[in-house]
Amino acid sequence: MTAFDHIMAHQRQTEALGKVMERLGWDQETMMPQGAADQRGEEMAALEGVLHARRTDPRLGEWLALAQAPDVAGARALDLIARSYMRTVKVPADLAQKLAQVTSTAQGIWAGARAADDVAAFLPTLTQVIALRREEAACLAAGGDLYDALIDDYEPDTKAADLAAMFNRMRPRLVALRAAVLDAPAPEPLTGHFPQAGQLALSRKMAEVFGYDFTRGRIDLAVHPFSSGGGDDSRITTRVAENDPFNCLYSTIHELGHSCYELAIDPDYNFTPLGHGVSMGVHESQSRIYENQIGRGAAFCEFLFGQMRAEFGEMNLKTARDFTRAVNRVHAGFIRTESDEVQYNLHIMMRFDLERALISGDLAPRDLEAAWNDRFSRDFGVAVPRPSLGMLQDVHWSAGLFGYFPTYTLGNVYAGCLNAAMRRDLPNLDDHLARGDTAPATGWLRGKLQRHGGLRAASGTIEHTCGFVPTEAPLLDYLEAKFTDLYAL
């Protein structure tokens, strides 16, 4: 065997073990009995120890020095393996295991604290998670910015300063659009009772409409919707509130974007570094374009309106136009995942600033609740009434995912670029979407982007797909055009 062959064989087993660990995480969030949390933490720590040892195996360094790639895909795989190796060897094995254990048990503690609106019950665990992540970041940063080192886990080669500059360019137009929309007459919201069974049936219908392969996936319920897995096993979750079917339906469509991306990757890349979405920003672009530009667009809403009436009967909204306006209704709210397109990125920008301050040490965990509430009041003009609507609403910090939040807005930016390019190439797309035919859109995304997995770097993936360098302008133009029409501005 050549050095390249040795590397790829070693990587195949590492990838397989990583998929096992991911499945343990899925089980923890969906089916694991509550009392098993501590045991699961030990299991996750043990498996992380095995994975860390494989990723830092000294033979990898020797093989990498000798390996010659047979083609472009092989060269990219070697680059990603080398990157992972150089990053992982900087983190002590005991720290990696401790992080896996603590973040596993932390998620159950967070869920209990959120349900009880009890910040004090979560604060010691949060403090420990932040301390461990700062320790890890210090190992990785080599004297550089700690937060940049953490972002690299999710969006390689992206710097906080560049993200901050982009957010600063976006904020004035978003704030101005929000002000104009909120000054306009609000559309009538959807009201009524929508039983869980009907919502889940319609969620399954949406999965079929978007081409989800149920032979390689499934839909389950979770407190915080997510997707998990890849290759031939990619699962999604959703949640149900019987007075708000949009929460369930659009959580489902969002997660379908993630899962369909994973399932569409060239099967030749499975069990290699190319067999994943290239970055969380690109991953989020898929969930966002499925959910927003396609799923919340007027054409698809016309189709969904008919599906809703077929499942639940007549509603208070009598026309597809009224339904579309309700789907896209802009309103004051506290929950990021329930936010409208106009305000969503403002939620992300707030979290980005707060977690940068936590990682830098400028903000102590004990002061996070007050800082959150003050910032939310300034940014959104309303006071946070309880922690579950404030700093306890998101699972990310309990899971140690510092540096993850900004990829949501980056994903929205990428989705704006992809939508512009897709509609350039598919001028009659809305005619198909109005009939519930998403195949032209999903086929375009699958062929242009999804099947390539990690073959190219993140921004290069978007540029190759769209034919232009990604910027925030297409997203902002799209939002202004859409909501100017919906609110008759």
Q: Measuring CA to CA, which residue among 376, 412, 415, 416 is closest to residue 394?
A: 376
- Which amino acid belongs to residue 299? A
Mean pLDDT computed over 376-404: 95
Q: What is the pLDDT of residues 172-220, one digit of tens each?
A: 999 999 999 999 999 999 999 999 999 999 999 999 999 999 999 999 9
Please give the pLDDT value at position 414.
98
Is 332 a residue whose pLDDT tops 90?
no
Mean pLDDT computed over 474-478: 98
Position 376 confidence tier, pLDDT thresholds 50, 70, 90: very high
Is 406 a residue whose pLDDT tops 90?
yes
Asked about 135 being catalytic, the answer comes back as no
* Domain 160-486 top-level CATH class: mainly alpha
Residue ranges covered by each domain of the chain: 3-144, 160-486
Is 337 a residue whose pLDDT tops 90?
no
Q: Give, for 429, the enclosing helix (H) or strand (E).
A: helix 429-433
Secondary structure letter of residue 330 according to DSSP: -
Q: What is the pLDDT of residues 355-375, one digit of tens each?
A: 999 999 999 999 999 999 999
Please give the pLDDT value at position 338.
85
Give the span between the Cα atoms of 229 and 258, in whole angstroms: 10
Ramachandran class of 225: left when φ > 0, alpha when ψ lies in -120 to 50, beta otherwise: beta
- Which amino acid belongs to residue 114? R
Q: Distance from CA of residue 376 to its chain's centroid?
A: 22
Q: What is the pLDDT of residues 296-318, one digit of tens each?
A: 999 999 999 999 999 999 999 99
From 136, 255, 302, 355, the catalytic residue: 255
Position 41 confidence tier, pLDDT thresholds 50, 70, 90: confident
Please give the pLDDT value at position 359.
98
> Regarding beta strands 233-238 and 227-230, do their DSSP bridges make them parallel or antiparallel, or are they unpaired?
antiparallel
**DSSP result, 241-302:** -TT-HHHHHHHHHHHHHHHHHHHHS-GGGTTSTTSS-S-HHHHHHHHHIIIIIITTSHHHHH
Partners of 233 in the β-ladder: 230
220 three-class SS: strand
Mean pLDDT computed over 337-347: 94
Partners of 237 in the β-ladder: 220
Cβ atoms of residues 393 and 336 within 8 Å: yes
Partners of 238 in the β-ladder: 221
> Regarding beta strands 219-221 and 233-238, do their DSSP bridges make them parallel or antiparallel, or are they unpaired?
parallel
Handedness of CA 283, 224, 231, 203 (dihedral sign): negative
Secondary structure letter of residue 385 according to DSSP: -
Position 336 confidence tier, pLDDT thresholds 50, 70, 90: very high
Outline where 142-223 has alpha helix (H).
146-151, 160-183, 196-209
Please give the pLDDT value at position 265.
98
Crossing angle for the helix pair 58-66 and 72-88, to the nearest 10 degrees: 150
22 three-class SS: helix
Cβ atoms of residues 171 and 186 within 8 Å: no
Mean pLDDT computed over 26-52: 91
For the record, the structure tokens of 241 come out as 């509130």
Q: What is the pLDDT of residues 62-102, one digit of tens each?
A: 999 999 999 999 999 999 999 999 999 999 999 999 999 99
Q: Measuring CA to CA, which residue among 187, 191, 197, 433 is closest to residue 314?
A: 191
Q: What is the pLDDT of residues 229-285, one digit of tens each?
A: 999 999 999 999 999 999 999 999 999 999 999 999 999 999 999 999 999 999 999
Please give the pLDDT value at position 47.
93
